[in-house]
């Protein structure tokens, strides 16, 4: 298997996650890695250079990268998403209740709310800042334990088996006491080194400050936040770098999108024109036209990478019989007959062949028919581009919790399979 894919490791994934508390930081982490390999960031508002280059673009929390050889064939795309469920800051965040200073928070995506209680939380995201008559973007990251959402004491609960959380009332975070505290947004702006009066917009979110860890008596597990879906962003990056150094007969593309957890309907989500536009501009820049673009897409394939459900040892009955998924058992092919996953026979064959070429086992996942199945960027990518698309992932537990778990060996196996997929 390609050397860059072998370099993907559990420790490397932990470092990637800890460097990337928000979708915007995920893109910066990926961009920094790409630039060490000679990639150049392009401006979407300007003309793009022709063939033979290594390029990427960033749009907010989304990034698309590609290596364009002189004799380009169809595309091989690995897609993922950069966002994870969390608690995000409201537009008027300051609140005082019973002498406590609170920050108003709102759940983003399908956050498993109870898992966010009683944790030390930092803040990350981006600010839109006035500069003269224009605007600039400033990333912000506060890795200090400034916020905490406290659990209700068991003695005050109506039901001692657990508290049902109201997302409007019960997930606001304490950040101090008394009445002399500064406005929260002023605090964030000053931490980012900007004048609070110049801040005109923001996308701010909480993140768990406990570092990602390789755990277990045999050091064979990973405990980390945001494995869904930074596990794929990291493996996809390693695979893409490997494919660029060991090219096959296709143009390798890495596409990571924001807003998957809330439906992908934004200017930079997988339902936008971002990926089709980039692919068409690649063809146009090398001198092709609309017909050449359509022909290239017709021969292309996409792997939609998102994390997969490992069989939970405490809840084995919640899984489809005969479809158990093992931690450290290899990448997962995800199939749903009602197209919550995009996998069809062609895509399944392409990924199975990639796993075989990489020398890693492949597992097959089917969701219980009597439980609602989550979805991915796969179906919408297939619909937007017309590419055969296969949904794949690495197995994990506690999906959408503030803290998740996966197997250490699965990191390398996942990256190796994706590298083989990108370089057929």
Crossing angle of helices 408-422 and 10-18, rounded to 10°: 90
Question: Is 259 flagged in the annotation as binding?
Answer: no
Task: Say how far apart CA 60 and CA 257 lie, in whole Å.
Answer: 9
Tell me the DSSP string of 348-398: HHHHHHHHHHHT---EEEE--TTSPPP--SHHHHHHHH---EEEEE-EEES
Rg (CA), the chain: 22
Could you list the beta-strand ranges (E) of 17-85: 40-41, 54-59, 62-67, 75-81
Question: Is 92 flagged in the annotation as binding?
Answer: no
Phi, psi of 115, rounded to the nearest 5 degrees: -75, -15
Task: Say how far apart CA 324 and CA 311 lie, in whole Å.
Answer: 6
Question: Is 207 flagged in the annotation as binding?
Answer: no
Task: Say how far apart CA 14 and CA 73 lie, in whole Å.
Answer: 35
By CB atoms closer than 10 A (0-12, 13-18, 19+), residue 317 is exposed
Q: Cis (ω within 30 of 0) for the bond into 369?
A: no
Task: Say how far apart CA 393 and CA 411 lie, in whole Å.
Answer: 10
Q: Which residues contact 164 (CB under 8 A, 6 or more apart)?
A: none
> Do the beta carbons of residue 278 and residue 385 sit within 8 Å?
no
Task: Say how far apart CA 350 and CA 300 lie, in whole Å.
Answer: 11
Task: Say how far apart CA 192 and CA 31 lie, in whole Å.
Answer: 21
Tokens of 103: 């920050």
3-state secondary structure of 361: coil
Tokens of 83: 């966002």
Task: Say how far apart CA 174 and CA 96 lie, in whole Å.
Answer: 9
Binding-site entries for Zn(2+): 81, 155, 400
Binding-site entries: 81, 155, 400
């Amino acid at each position: 298997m390609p050397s860059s894919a072998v370099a993907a490791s559990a420790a490397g994934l932990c470092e990637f996650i800890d460097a990337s508390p928000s979708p915007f930081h995920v893109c910066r982490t990926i961009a920094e890695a790409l630039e060490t390999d000679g990639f150049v960031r392009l401006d979407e508002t300007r003309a793009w250079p022709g063939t033979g280059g290594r390029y990427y673009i960033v749009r907010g929390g989304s990034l698309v990268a590609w290596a364009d050889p002189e004799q380009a064939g169809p595309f091989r795309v690995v897609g993922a998403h950069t966002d994870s469920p969390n608690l995000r800051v409201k537009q008027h965040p300051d609140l005082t209740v019973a002498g406590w200073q609170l920050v108003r928070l709102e759940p983003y995506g399908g956050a498993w709310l109870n898992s966010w209680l009683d944790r030390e939380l930092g803040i990350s995201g981006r600010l839109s800042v006035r500069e003269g008559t224009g605007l600039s973007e400033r990333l912000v990251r506060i890795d200090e334990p400034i916020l905490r959402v406290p659990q209700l004491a068991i003695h005050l609960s109506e039901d001692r088996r657990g508290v049902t959380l109201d997302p409007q009332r019960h997930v606001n975070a304490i950040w101090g006491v008394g009445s002399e505290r500064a406005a929260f947004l002023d605090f964030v702006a000053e931490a980012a080194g900007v004048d609070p009066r110049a801040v005109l917009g923001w996308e701010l979110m909480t993140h768990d400050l406990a570092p990602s860890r390789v755990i277990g008596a045999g050091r064979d597990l990973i405990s980390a936040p945001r494995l869904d879906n930074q596990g794929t962003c990291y493996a996809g990056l390693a695979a893409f770098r490997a494919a660029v150094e060991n090219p096959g007969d296709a143009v390798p593309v890495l596409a990571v999108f924001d807003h998957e957890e809330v439906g992908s309907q934004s200017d930079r989500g997988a339902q936008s024109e971002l990926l089709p536009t980039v692919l068409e501009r690649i063809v146009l820049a090398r001198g092709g036209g609309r017909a050449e673009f359509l022909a290239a897409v017709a021969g292309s394939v996409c792997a939609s990478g998102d994390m997969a459900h490992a069989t939970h040892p405490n809840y084995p009955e919640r899984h489809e019989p005969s479809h158990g998924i093992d931690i450290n058992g290899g990448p997962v092919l995800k199939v749903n007959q009602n197209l919550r996953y995009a996998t069809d026979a062609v895509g399944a064959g392409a990924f199975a062949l990639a796993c075989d070429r990489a020398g890693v086992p492949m597992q097959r996942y089917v969701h219980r028919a009597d439980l609602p199945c989550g979805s991915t960027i796969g179906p919408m990518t297939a619909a937007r581009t017309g590419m055969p698309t296969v949904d794949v992932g690495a197995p994990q537990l506690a999906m959408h919790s503030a803290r998740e778990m996966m197997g250490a060996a699965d990191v390398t196996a996942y990256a190796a399979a994706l590298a083989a997929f990108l370089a057929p």
